[in-house]
Amino acid sequence: MTIDRSSIPPRPVRRVVIAGGGTAGWMAAAAISKVLGQRLDITLIESDEIGTVGVGEATIPTLLNFHSLLEINEQEFMAATQATFKLGISFENWRAVGADYIHSFGMTGVDHWTAGFQHFWHKGRERELAGAYGDYCLELKAAQLNRFAHLPKNGMNYAYHLDASRYARFLRKFAEGYGVRRVEAKIDAVRRDPASGDITALQLDSVSSIEADLFIDCTGFRALLIGQAMGQPYQDWSHWLFADSAIAVQTAATRPAVPYTRSIAHGAGWQWQIPLQERVGNGIVFASTYVDDAAAEATLMANIGGAVLTTPRVIRFKPGQRARTWAGNCVALGLASGFLEPIESTSIHLIQRGIVRLMQMFPTDGIFQTDIDEYNRQTAAEIEHIRDFIILHYHVTERRDTPFWRACASLDLPPSLRQRIDLFADSGRVFRAPNELFAENSWIQVMLGQGIHPRQHHPSADLMGDEELRAFLDNIRGGVERTVAQLPGHQDYVERYCGAPAPPASR
């Protein structure tokens, strides 16, 4: 039920309670305390007895912006979280068994104001003047050769592989330094005002209750506040995204860490491999309708290396989003707000965006329905764009070798995605929606990688003769090759830059 707040007198927000810890809870605590800690009383409630999903170990470059806002030292963060660098994702067996491509974080080539680089590359391929599309992207070529370094003027776009549990502990120390109070307790009940519908307090098992003006739900899939208490329905997207389960396991590292995540498609889903400094995060995402837990686990365990460090555990999920992620005086972040599988490493990004959006609309002098409505509108638009991008990977494929892949190929697509695919297939054109996460080059890399080849290119590319076009393409490719050749190996760079401290010697 939606309450009309126009008749409710606004009440200043001075007390904030974050329900739940983990990555979402401590990211929220860190950001709010860093910016508004002097004006707010911030309490985070979590229980050591309640585990977190904690497998979201791959990130995207937007996390660097979040850390910059919080003034977090990169070397300290990376050492504390066993982090390595990430330049993109290697998609293996997605278009077809045995075929692979990399979705990198970089820009490819040089655009013209009338047309993107893909049009000039397309012309070059027609005239046999161009190499592979990835030859013109620094980050992609560096990933292929396992090289990395920081470059002047932020010349290398990158993200991180990190230990999610260590990251939460790192942020906890940070947030407590800005005055956040942690309460070890379980939430027994949620109290609401019968008139306004707002949450007034959380009943705990360790103390009587904690009151607040604003509550942030980071209770994971349970969604104790936004779902159970506030009654916000869940929009189920499983008719577009069939995967509903995952199995995660950690293994010891047996080889140098590569600067990319591996995403390996299987018969009814896909497997991830995420290299940290001393271990590897592994998992398989699958559709339980097409494969059972035992078979999925067998596939996972047959395709990993190194000593197994943890017991494989099954995680159930439902792809989708809350109808409203801000309701009354409750804002949901992370899994409580919705979930999209980790194929493009967007989970931590969506937490971050929710926090930044809340900070931009923070209800210091009272909660207004206009802020709630705008927050929810922006949140819905952002996750729908990401949803479409994920569906693209499954639907646009040559695979028909299993019932799962045949079902993916026959999907009735969201109109927004169908329009993007048809536009690129017809003309090679891609246009980024306002405030969309994935830029044009991401869509181009994945659509090309999944097997869409545009029928034509922009006429601007035809204005170049063969020699001019050859020189244009060769200059870009040569610049990429020269830069990559000067980069050190990724593993060596990590060890020098942010190697985790060795454990103390035993006596």
Just list the catalytic residues. 86
Q: Which residues pair with 327 in a beta bridge?
A: 330
Q: Which residues, including other chains, have CB under 8 Å from residue 447's CB and lie 6 or more apart?
A: 392, 396, 421, 424, 430
SS3 content of the chain, % helix, strand, coil (to 5): 40, 20, 40
Helices (H), 239-368: 293-301, 347-360
Strand-by-strand arrangement of the 15-19 sheet: 181-184, 41-46, 15-19, 214-217, 330-332, 326-327
Number of C-beta neighbours around residue 212 at 10 A: 22
Secondary structure element (H or E) that encloses residue 79, with its range: helix 74-80
Phi, psi of 283, rounded to the nearest 5 degrees: -175, 165
**Residue-wise burial string across 91-103, b where 16 or more C-beta atoms lie within 10 A, e elsewhere:** bbbbbeeebbbbb
The answer to whether 393 and 92 are in contact (CB under 8 A) is no
59: nearest Cα among 327, 315, 350: 350
DSSP class of 5: G
Q: Which residues, including other chains, have CB under 8 Å from residue 98's CB and lie 6 or more apart?
A: none
Q: Token digits for 14?
A: 């001075």
Q: Which residues pair with 313 in a beta bridge?
A: 248
Q: Which residues, including other chains, have CB under 8 Å from residue 179's CB and lie 6 or more apart?
A: 33, 37, 42
137: nearest Cα among 104, 160, 111: 104
Classify burial at 293, counting beta carbons within 10 Å of its beta carbon; exposed 0-12, middle 13-18, buried 19 or more. middle
